[in-house]
Chains A and B, each alone.
Chain A
Amino acid sequence: MNKYWKISIIIALTIMTIGAFYTHSAYSSTQLPQFHIKEERGNSELIKNVAISAFYMVDSHGEGVSIEQNKTTYDSEKSFFEQFNRDYARTDSTIKQLQKKYRNFMRGKLNISSFYEDKQLLAFADIDNNTGNGSRSFIFNISVLNKKTGNSTSFKYEIPSPEKYNHIYVEDVQYFGKELKVLTRSYQQNIGGQDVSKYIFDIPNEKLLSKEEVFAGSKTLLEYSLIPNIDPIQPSKYAVFSISEPVYEPEETEAPEPPKPKEKELVVYDLEQNKKLDTIFPKEIQKINTDAIQPYVDGSTAYFAEEADQKVKLTAFNLETGKIDNEITLPIDLKGKYNEMRVVVKDGKFYLLVKNHDMQTANVKIMIADIKTESIVFEGRLAADKNMRQSLRSLELYDIQIK
């Protein structure tokens, strides 16, 4: 046996080190801070389904992290299969769920704005931008799945005169009767401005019924931005656009100043009736800086949030009646100079995540408000197990997800 000692050492060394590396906690445990959500008041049941996704960055080290009530998961701690799938699904839980339910239909379909789902069907419309290699074409790929029968139809439609466009993408897909309506944004060749157009497809006959310019940005040189839906795939009758003068960012901005609120106008477009509504938004909503906190549309309600004097005010505006349904003010009450916010509205609740910081302090606060009763139902803070201030400062918040 003595003559085998060299090979024995190599085998033992390999098994022990590699084995230890993948099993022993000295190697597998992280020294990165562990976060949890500390409840301050309210119902802690509400925070159970909340996950904050963020990026943790200290000097040379940076990785994605997901924080739940009592659990911190860094990307490197996830299993290989989770890491492998993540890039594909782009953490979009809606797409992940659809992939589970309709595995074959969902093949190769990723763009969340391109989906529409109701009780009967799941529809998808996207545009292939082929602009390389001298050739130029923009082709609609349309597929509709009947959820009951499992049958799907799909067809293509090539947009005429492709030389006019630089690129075109889908902003929203809706379905009324037998008509699939697709809102697109097209960037023109050579001239500035973007056109918002609506394509209506007859699904049973697999053909284009009509194309209409909703807003001709290439002529007016105004910016038309669509306020996103809370759930981008659910049926939604109204599309709300914010119209403003384009702002050209001055070059060489050393210290990034908060962007000034733009002069703008809000317009409601009824996708079912194919016309603009004459809903008039009150002045106080028109002047809200929508670049600071993302507004959302949910059915016939639009939610606008605004920060002022360490308070965040949420306004629920009814698009049909043109009246303000609910208003609620959440006090932030933190000392830091800067506030970064993420908001989500889900199931009648308003979720607010604030990172408040300056040279001296760093705090991350999370608040949940019930919109109907206009009351705060949960308030809490993010806490770290070590180096609290430094750890919170190193956390770049992405968004909040409600399961």
Chain B
Amino acid sequence: MIYLQLFTTFFLIGLFSFGGGYAAMPWILSLVVEQRQWLTTAEHADLTAIAEMTPGPIGVNAATFVGTRMAGLPGAVICTLGCITPSLIIVLCLAFLYRKYRDLALMKQILTRLRPVVVALVASAGLTILKLALFGEGGSFADLRYVELGLFLLALLVLRNTKISSILVLLGSATLGTVIYLFF
């Protein structure tokens, strides 16, 4: 029963991938590629690239890709459901606890210490993407891309000083950058 296998495989991937979508990739390699042999290693590498190049959560992208290849649209839906079910159960429990106990003194104390650490998490994710944008994969400081640097500064300036939505800023800077690369 392929649907059941797809569901349980992606349920496990969803359950074990701590630390966001990229953490799912090694599990996909071991469960989908090595154990089930639903994808080749080359397809797995492609999948990583596509999941990154397309919008939306990386885990859902990967689930849809494998599901579609194995069993069409129903497969895509089943894999996506499998991959989000553990999240749904665990996050809802945590959300419920948060809402119930957030005003307790101990909980307040814990949250006070968690918040600055979360800022650091977001900052480090930002730094990783910024490095990738400005220097490319594994690039050194000599590889600084001036177009991307200009786009980054311009986008940041717009975000800081206007109320233009971040999606418009993203689309605008991507369009501008593509035009610059294509025509200059």
A and B assemble together: no
